[in-house]
Amino acid sequence: MSSPGKYQTIIIASILLIASIIILSFNLKQLGGTGFIRRLVLETAAPLENIINSSMGGISGVWRRYIFFVGLEEENRKLRGEIVSLRGEVNQYREMYLEGMRLKKLLNLKENINYPTVIAEIIGGSRSSVFKMILINRGTTDGVKEGFPVLASEGVIGRIVEASWNVSRVLLLIDNNSNIDALIQKSRAQGVLQGRGGEGCILKYVQRSEDVRVGDNVVSSGLAGVFPKGLLLGVVKKVQKKKSGLFQEILVSPAVDLSRLEEALVILSDKKDRR
């Protein structure tokens, strides 16, 4: 273990050496010659000066690097903030683009319907296992009334069962209380499409003799006057002919994915106007 006296000796020697260098430098300015002592001091002082200069240079380099990294960290922080902001903007533009594509499909559907319509936004839904309904942001102020059909670009969603000034409730076609006059598009076999909740729908009262196959489209018949004729309701996913009974059992998948609804189209016309 080193004693404190040893460090004191080194410090004193260093101070004396530095003082000698200062005196030598001053004397060299006054005298032209170089004696033995001066030469000895020069030989001794040169390595020390080199060490001092190297140390100072190293300290200066470390400081410059420190300043550089501090500036670099600040710049990185700003860039990270800009990246987060740009990602948010890109996400907003993507949402706007997707919304525009959905609205474009609804507008195309609107052009093919010979009745006045209004586009609505889905603002809520019923989580009840009994009733399958959604809320839209259109009401009597927009001309919406009870019984009006509600569509998506892919097909029928349901019908209005309750309307206030700016909000309406839509009964989905998969609700057990929903009944829509329908027919098989290919064979023209007629029946009634009834909701079955999570199972989709069932097409009732189709006679056993009718040709119905999996994959056939089911469309509105227009008989009851609620839905215009020819609107897509769903696709046949299962056909069963029991040994007894007059009718087939036909399960139908809705044409619209009702779990992903964001916008809808309401047909603004009474039953008498659609006959």
| Cβ contact 20:6 at 8 Å | no
| Distance separating alpha carbons of residues 80 and 233, to the nearest angstrom | 49
pLDDT in tens, the chain (275 residues): 555 555 555 555 566 566 666 655 555 555 445 555 556 555 655 565 565 555 555 666 666 666 767 777 777 778 777 788 777 777 777 777 776 777 677 777 777 788 899 999 999 887 566 678 999 999 999 999 999 999 998 999 999 999 999 999 999 999 999 999 999 999 999 999 999 988 899 999 999 889 999 999 999 998 888 898 999 999 999 999 877 778 999 999 999 998 888 889 999 976 655 55
Q: C-alpha distances in angstroms, 119 versus 165, 177, 208, 234, 253?
A: 16, 25, 40, 22, 24
What local confidence, expressed as pLDDT, does residue 12 receive?
A: 59
Q: What is the DSSP string of 127-179?
A: --SS--EEEES--GGGT--TT-EEEETTEEEEEEEEE-SS-EEEEETTSTT-E
Supply the pLDDT for residue 18.
64
H-run or E-run covering 184: strand 179-184
Per-residue pLDDT tens digits for 198-219:
889 999 999 988 999 999 999 9
Average pLDDT taken over every residue of the chain: 79
**One-letter amino acid of 198:** G
Residues 169 and 159: beta-carbon distance below 8 Å: no
DSSP single-letter state for residue 118 = E
Closest CA to 234 of 190, 179, 193: 193
Task: Using the structure block, give the residue that is written with the tokens 């009964």.
Answer: 171
Tell me, what's the pLDDT at 76?
79
CA 56 to chain CA centroid, Å, is 56
Name the token pair of 119.
């586009």
Residue 123: its pLDDT value, please? 92
pLDDT at 36: 56
Q: How many residues does the chain have?
A: 275
Q: Are strands 179-184 and 190-195 parallel, antiparallel or unpaired?
A: antiparallel
- For the chain, domains (ranges, CATH) are 1-112 (no CATH), 117-274 (2.40.10.350)
pLDDT of residue 245: 79
Structure confidence at residue 274 (pLDDT): 52
DSSP helix/strand/coil, 256: coil
Q: What pLDDT score does 91 carry? A: 77
What confidence score (pLDDT) does residue 107 get?
74
Segments in the chain forming alpha helices (H): 4-30, 36-111
What residues pair up with 158 in beta bridges, in sequence order?
Answer: 150, 172
Residues 6+ apart with CB under 8 A from 61: none
pLDDT at 172: 95
